Amino acid sequence: MARIVYLDAFPAENALPILAERPEHEVIRIDRHAPFAESFATLGGAHAFQCVPARDEVPEPLRVDAAFLTRAPELLVVSSGGSGVDTFDLDACTAAGVLVVNQAGGNAEAVAEHALGMMLLLMKRVPEADRALRRGWNGARTDFRGADLLGKTVGIIGLGHIGRRLASICRHAFDCEVLAYDPYLDAEEMGRRDARKVSFEEVLSGADVVSIHCPLSAETRRMFDAEAIGMMRPGARLIATARGFIHDEDALYQALRSGHLAGAGLDVWDAEPPTADHPLLSLDNVITSPHTAGVTRDSRERMARYAATQLIDIFDGKDPVRPVNTDVLPVWQKRVQGFLKG
């Protein structure tokens, strides 16, 4: 019935047995290293394209933009393997009547726990102590006097699945005051999500640690520039586990070097992975990981299940569970109904 093409792999292997239960659908793998003409020979008749969510893992011709869509005229839906959709041009998809879906919430626990772990390590100054010991340090323990998270003020940018989970942990496990900025939620809803709605500037100036959990978009690109970072409370920490390009790496480096910020936990980068000589990697008060916050066995299997079942539901004529470009739905529903009747 439907031709489902996936790039390299689903988030975990459990997606394929789920899809195999519906043998009427053709499921085809393409390889990022294959000749692009070969890939588009397959994509030309595809009705769904399951794509890797990390942009640096997707060759530019296989990122879904206007040019891609002209070469895949039968496409009805493109699906991200995670919550991020920066490998898709949302405007181009909407113009072409193509629905974009993601697996939002599938990795919420993994990323929230990772962000929390980075917070605790920075507050306790573990990265600095670890590196000092490896260099032969033999000083006083008070050289690495840290702070407790208990009772501190935590700022969260974006109170979706991940931000909401992190707010709950900080509020209930550590008795933190949680300030949050999310222009798409009202104060009442944010209260239900264990946070107090404030302005972006109030989060920056009021929080001991700020954690970023918003998607990368035109609205959020370079949101944390030199001016914004300069508004953060002196001695605060910044956690970035959402997407690269939301924070300005050069501005963050300068704020850390100058002592304005006490530390940063970075899981996402402008270029992934960062080169070994990246300036931020030279700082002892920075803890890093290579975009692995959401990469746990539990989260990957959950996202794979979400992806496979959502595609099956779509081709069963059901409403998508996690649509992204919702403006396209009226046009898309006509297209998919035509396909199902045909």
Q: Please give the positions annotated as active site.
A: 243, 272, 291
Residue 34: partners with Cβ closer than 8 Å, 6 or more residues away: none
The 8-class DSSP code of residue 324 comes to S
One-letter amino acid at 160 equals G
Please, what sign has the CA dihedral across residues 137, 142, 148, 152? negative
d(CA 218, CA 227): 18
CB 66 within 8 A of CB 92: yes
DSSP alpha helices (H): ranges in the chain? Answer: 15-20, 36-43, 66-70, 90-95, 108-123, 126-134, 161-174, 187-192, 200-206, 226-231, 249-258, 297-315, 329-341
CB 261 within 8 A of CB 231: no
How large is the C-alpha radius of gyration of the chain? 22
Q: In angstroms, how far is CA 28 from the centroid of its own chain?
A: 26
DSSP alpha helices (H): ranges in 195-248? Answer: 200-206, 226-231
Q: % helix / strand / coil in the chain, to the nearest 5? A: 40, 15, 40
